Amino acid sequence: MQQDGQKLALVLATFGSAREQEVDFVHGIKEEFERRHPGTEVFIAYTSKIVTTKRRKKGEAANALAQVLAQLSVEGFSYVAVQSLHVAPGMEYEMLCDITRRFAQMPKGIVRTVTGPPLICNDIRAEKVARLLAADLPPERQVDEAVVFVGHGAKLPAGTLTYPALQAYLWQHDPGLFVGTLEGSLNAGCTIELLRKRGYDRVWLVPLLAYYGVHVAEDMFGAGEESWQHTFEAAGIVCKPVETTLLGRPAVVELWIESAVDAMESLALAKA
């Protein structure tokens, strides 16, 4: 996108994964955006240090956010929107904002930056995501089976409210839908207690994370005693694991794209 000779760019900033399938999801978002908004230059940045290091070692392209912004600066992009592909306004998003801010008003570089919020950034979004999740439950689920969406959890105040908010909206659709978090107060023990109180002894465990990374493979479904599946089964609850992550849900991805469009629009307005 070119405006008065000053270039605009969109950066999709994602935690990243060493798994090829999810990398394809992010490239899919980039291609979809470029298809709908021809002329927009879209770049991908990874916010996880571990993921970028792992991918580099395998000889794959993996640029950190600061690296992408420095490169865009050098290439003459004056206005840059950074869209977060994170789930909640937690630590990763906070760092994304901090890094992005530092590249604004750079002499001989980027003039203005804008950041697009993570997936569940306010009550409207929590309600929308709840609606999409409730409309896309495992088809084989029986009425006496609960569905537990397991998210990362956040330590920053704004992020801590994300998951209880989603829970409130999910219950508007179906009393058998629950939200748990790997970190924070909605842990496996408290989720099990709630399931027992409500009389559920069979559950579907569904990732509420963007990627099928270590958190899903090990913390949710791993063979270790600490995993959610193991903890639930030890408590006498039958578990059915679901592999689909948030990036694998097209209707959810659409919300991230929506935010990217908004970010680009506010960038164009800031420039005008």
Count CB atoms within 10 A of the CB of residue 256.
Answer: 25
Q: Give CA–CA dist 231/5, Å, rounded.
A: 58
Residue 254 tokens read as 């659409």
In terms of DSSP bridges, do strands 6-14 and 2-3 run parallel, antiparallel, or are they unpaired? Answer: antiparallel
Is position 86 annotated as part of the catalytic site?
no
R_g of the chain computed on alpha carbons? 20
Residue among 27, 37, 152, 173 flagged as catalytic: 152
- Strands 202-207 vs 177-181: parallel, antiparallel or unpaired: unpaired
CA proximity to 178, closest of 151, 153, 213: 151
What is the pairing mode between strands 202-207 and 238-241? Answer: parallel
> In which residue are the tokens 């839908």 written?
177
Q: Does residue 204 contact residue 141 with C-beta atoms inside 8 Å? A: yes
Active site residues: 152
